[in-house]
Amino acid sequence: MPEKVAVNISKELYEKAKKFVEESGGEFKSVEEFIEFVLREVLEEGGEESVYTPEEEEEIKRRLRALGYL
């Protein structure tokens, strides 16, 4: 299980999220799970940033420099 941290959000938003979870028909088991899902969607939107690690990107760039692209 990855390490967890606590975050404060407004009560109003929490209640809305809770209602959404209850109406999700079991898709989300908890508000925590729902918020994790939404944040992941937003932060990984575009996906492109998270594919290569910095080391992998450097390795590819090293090769591409030899192709005259970089």
Partner 1 sequence: MRVFILGIDSAEPSLVFGPWREELPTISQLMEEGAWGKVASTVPPITCPAWPSAFSGCNPGRFGLYDLRYRRKGTYTDFGIVNSRMVRVPRLWNVLSERGMRSVVAFVPVTYPPEPIEGCMVASFLTPSVRSQFTYPPELREEVLKVVGGPSSYIIDVYDYRRRDPRDLYRELRAKTDHDFKVIAHLLRTKPWDLFVAVVMSVDRAQHTLWKFFDKDHPRYVDDPELREGLLDLHRQIDEWLAKVMDLLPRDTMVIVASDHGAKRMYHRINVNEILASEGLLKLREVPDRPTGLAELDRRGLIDWSKTVAFALGAYVAQVFVNLEGREPRGVVKPGEEYEAVREQVADLLKSVRGPDGERLDTRVFMREEAYRGEMVDVMPDLTVYFDNLHYGANEAVGFGSPYSLETAKGPDDSNHGEYGMLVIRDPEGRLSGELRGAKLEDVAPTVLRALGLEPPPGLDGRSLI
Supply 30's token pair: 């908890």
User: Residues 6 or more apart from 70 whose CB is under 8 A from it?
Assistant: 61, 64
Closest separation in Å from C-beta 19 to partner 1? 32
Measured from the Cβ of residue 70, the count of other Cβ atoms closer than 10 Å reads: 10
Site string for partner 1, 31-60 (x = CB under 8 A): ---------------xxxx-xxx--xx-xx
Q: What is the DSSP letter of 37?
A: H
Query: If binding is defined by CB under 8 A, does position 15 make contact with partner 1?
Result: no
Site residues (vs partner 1, CB under 8 A) = 46-49, 51-53, 56-57, 59-61, 63-70
